[in-house]
Amino acid sequence: MSNTTQPFKHVRMKDIADQLGISQTTVSRALQGDRGNISEETIARVNEVAREMGYDPSLAFAARRLRQQRGGPAVINHMVALIMSLRNIDEPYFGKLVKGISDALTGERFALVANIPVPLPPTSDLPYAFLRGDIDGLVVMSNPTYFGPSLHRLRTETPFGQRPVVSMLEPIATCACVRADDYQGGYEMTAHLLELGHRHIMHFYHDVQSGFPHQQRLQGCQQACMDRGLDPALYLHSVFGNGPMFGTAEQVLPKALRAHPETTAVLAENDGTAPMVVGALAKLGRRVPEEMSVVGFDDITPVLDEHGQNMLTTVRVPLMQIGHEAVILLIRRIIGDEPSAETALVIPTQLVERCSTAPPRSRA
């Protein structure tokens, strides 16, 4: 028996094409899952032969990048990056976004680079995938003020260049965006309370400088009042907490309710602050919903009643869908099916009525 080691042979797409008696273009499209041009039968047959022959697409990456650098045709590496703060990734809000992103990427056979802080580190400290030009596009969840300079650096200091970017929840100039319809959510939560008979509503926010989603939400709240002949300046009392998120409701609500004793309902900034609002009201001897109605936003964090059931009326934000649609839009832009750099998708929200809202006691 001979002990001669057979030399390694790199299997090319041309080898697969020759084996099957089809064109190399057909093989390339089949390996990319191009169902718009290639039949399911051909895709299955090409992938089966590729496996049998030991085809490894990663071995061709270096040559493909070299062709890019030499002005050859654009190459899709099937790799995108997620830029968002991962410090709170264990929180359900962020987890749902990432789940939607991950599911969409898996379905499209794209890989994800996610260990990227905001703002970005010095260019030399970026993941090598950026510096090699491997990243086809970005999904971003960041305040535009923070991310704008980072995006400029990516476009001017790395091979990323003018590749597509899709932001989630907040629009970023020159980027496509997928966000919730916060205006609709604000309108529906306010309209719900007004239809129950409430008139003086407290709009509780953490920061007077709240970003685009909260501004849209506030405009929706104001419009719901105006559509019912109520002046928002007289009936919608915006209260802003200053300082750490935790404890703000307890610090601010007593003073705000003394200033507006006619208040019968509170719109919390989100579901995360709603339990703090309910707790602060309890310390003031205000029962929910008998003496004060409370509405949240997101449908993420529950407020439990004595039976352990979520009692919080809230506005559901489809976070998994937003993450999923952001990836699909990004891939459409990567492959050229969506030419507009500033496409905006607005996903509807949904009012979820539970037990934290009721008619005001004087009208019950």
Please report, for the domain that includes residue 269, its CATH number. 3.40.50.2300
C-alpha–C-alpha distance, residues 78 and 132, integer Å: 14
- Percentage of the chain modeled with pLDDT above 70: 87
C-alpha–C-alpha distance, residues 77 and 72, integer Å: 14
Q: What is the structure's pLDDT at 28?
A: 85
Are residues 359 and 341 located together in one domain of the fold? no
pLDDT in tens, 220-252: 999 999 999 999 999 999 887 654 444 467 888
Q: Which of 279, 213, 200 is nearest to 239 (CA)?
A: 200
Distances (CA, A) of 222 to 129, 293, 311, 356: 46, 18, 25, 22
Helix locations, 85-210, DSSP H: 92-108, 128-132, 144-157, 182-196
User: Looking at the domain assignment, is residue 344 inside a domain?
Assistant: yes
For residue 188, give its domain range.
182-317+351-363
Are residues 284 and 359 located together in one domain of the fold? yes
Are residues 204 and 289 located together in one domain of the fold? yes
Q: pTM of this prediction?
A: 0.78
C-alpha–C-alpha distance, residues 44 and 31, integer Å: 9
Are residues 156 and 276 located together in one domain of the fold? no
3-class SS at 224? helix
C-alpha–C-alpha distance, residues 136 and 194, integer Å: 48
Number of domains in the chain: 3
Q: Which of 288, 285, 279, 314 is nearest to 299 (CA)?
A: 314
Are residues 247 and 357 located together in one domain of the fold? yes
Residue 277: what residue type?
Answer: V
Are residues 173 and 152 located together in one domain of the fold? yes
pLDDT in tens, 132-190: 888 999 999 988 888 888 899 899 988 898 999 999 999 999 999 999 999 999 999 99
